[in-house]
Amino acid sequence: MSEEVFTLPDLGEGLTEATLLQWLVTVGDVVAVDTPVAEVETAKASVEVPSPFEGRITQLHGDEGATVQVGRPLITVDVPSTVGEADSADADRYVEEERAGSGNVLIGYGTGNGPGRRRRTAKKREPAPQPSAPADAAGAPASTAAPPAPRRPVQSPIVRKLARERGVELTTVAGTGPGGLITRRDVEAAGQSAEPSVRPAAPHAEPVDADTDDRTGLPIHTRVPLTGLRKAVADTLSRSRSEIPEATTWVDVDATALLELRRTLDHPEPAPGILAMVARFVVAGLTRFPELNSRVDTERQEITHFDGINLGLAAQTDRGLMVPAVRNAHRLGMRGLDAEIRRLTTSAREGSVQPDELTTGSFTLNNYGVLGVDGSAAIINHPEVAILGMGRIIRRPWVVDDEVVPRNIVQLSLVFDHRVCDGGTAGGFLRFVADAIESPVSALAEL
């Protein structure tokens, strides 16, 4: 037997640390190559880290909630001597494959060619010979220990999160999935049959300790560490406010014709969503006003205009605000945009969005109307130079041909970096999108 230490691998994207959300194994567990051992949260995503070694866990380095630096020990594995050398070589190749094949992202969370996670298939090995029984103090062979119980399959982050929300202990649930895997349906069924008495009690309103705030004198109820995604969001928005001289302009738009158009498109296939329809007009507007699809390079003292558009979409999730981007949005029609928007927003909320999908946007569209609000002065997603916000669509009195009639009105607000353009360009872009929403058939005829 030989001990191998697995260190937290290169996270890529300039990331140097991760928060250890939870251990998926305990000391004494027997793991195979690719077995997830921990769930960590980076500034980009929450991911599972698989072991590159086969053997028995002898040590877990770090407590849940702690911050682990890249290159620091994560687990120690006691590897059978007959396969230890092969495992060590496999581990080296494993890390290199992940770095080369997925753009230096977290091991086990490659971008690959598809939207799902990529996991390397473990090499098939012959069963390792069992070590001889150890001798007792008198020199006689000790009785052979019973083989360890089969290890319960590691459940997905979605299933574990659902179990926490429902107050279900996974060790008490019989999985109906392949190999005993616990599914969402298993957790939901267990949650319905669980007695209320075993559910966690609601948080008490009393302060967690005797600390008080120096300024207000009020008791401190909870301390929430600013780590992971929340820290990344805070850093990005703070940098945006401190570096970008922003300006905001807005307009109320009659979206009645757009809703009518969507109803006509609902056959034979489902119609694209309103957000996808607006996104198509936004993309068209950016091709006419490329100043808003650019970057400010302060070191080189220049503005870089892009040949193409990666449209970011602000999505509110349980972990915080994420902005996944539709790559090459300028090459997609309404239905193509609709499919990508639905895929990306679902992935963001489930925690399975790819890291590179969160860092490649060139312009952001924010549909804050889903939150039930009419308008907002958003903060630009640094290092982008503009963000377009869309409020809820509501029935309001509107003047049409000198008559007051009920119409479906939506407010658009554009926040832009005044370094890249002036009000004329910003207003021209905003007016283009507004006109397209008010007369969508004419706009589509010219796209």
CATH no. for residue 186?
4.10.320.10
Q: Return the pLDDT at 111.
A: 34
SS (H, E, C) 300-316: CCEEEECCCCCEEECEE
> Can you give the pLDDT at residue 109?
35
Task: Judge whether 148 lies within some domain.
Answer: no
Amino acid at 203: P
Q: 252 and 191 in one domain?
A: no
On whether the CB atoms of residues 73 and 5 are closer than 8 A, the answer is: yes
**165, 32: one domain:** no
User: Do 244 and 174 share a structural domain?
Assistant: no
CA gap 290, 309 in Å, rounded: 10
CATH of the domain at 308: 3.30.559.10
- What's the rounded Cα separation, in Å, for the pair 329 and 419? 25
Q: 246 with 192, same domain?
A: no
Domain end call among 52, 83, 110: 110
- Nearest C-alpha neighbor of 378 from the set 326, 413, 345, 410: 413
Identify the pLDDT of residue 18.
84
The segments of the chain whose pLDDT lies below 70 read 1, 11-14, 43-45, 82-161, 177-179, 181, 192-210
Q: Are residues 163 and 300 in the same domain?
A: no
Identify the pLDDT of residue 197. Answer: 41
Quick check: is 418 in a domain? Answer: yes
Q: Do 185 and 61 fall within a single domain?
A: no
Query: Cα dihedral sign for 235, 236, 237, 242?
Result: positive
Residue 245 in domain? yes
Residue of 388, 447, 380 whose CA lies nearest to 413: 388
What are the angstrom distances between the C-alpha of 440 and each of 261, 278, 302, 433?
7, 10, 36, 10
Does a structural domain hold residue 355? yes
**Residues 235, 178 within the same domain:** no
In the three-class reduction of DSSP (H, G, I as helix; E, B as strand; rest coil), residue 77 is classed as: strand
Structural domain count of the chain: 3
Q: What is the DSSP letter of 150?
A: P
Tell me which of 90, 110, 130 is where a domain ends: 110
Does 174 fall in a domain?
Answer: yes
pLDDT of residue 388: 97
- Decide if 267 is catalytic: no
Helices (H), 169-227: 184-193
Do residues 19 and 162 both lie within one domain?
no
Q: What is the pLDDT of residue 329?
A: 97
Q: For residue 167, what are the domain limits?
A: 155-196
pLDDT digits (tens, 9 = 90+) for 361-411: 999 999 999 999 999 889 999 999 999 999 999 999 999 999 999 999 999
- Which candidate in 61, 267, 330, 418 is catalytic? 418
Rounded CA separation 5/89 (Å): 13
Could you tell me if 98 and 160 lie in one domain? no
- Residues in the chain, how many? 447
For residues 292 and 181, membership in a common domain is answered with: no
CATH value at residue 102: 2.40.50.100
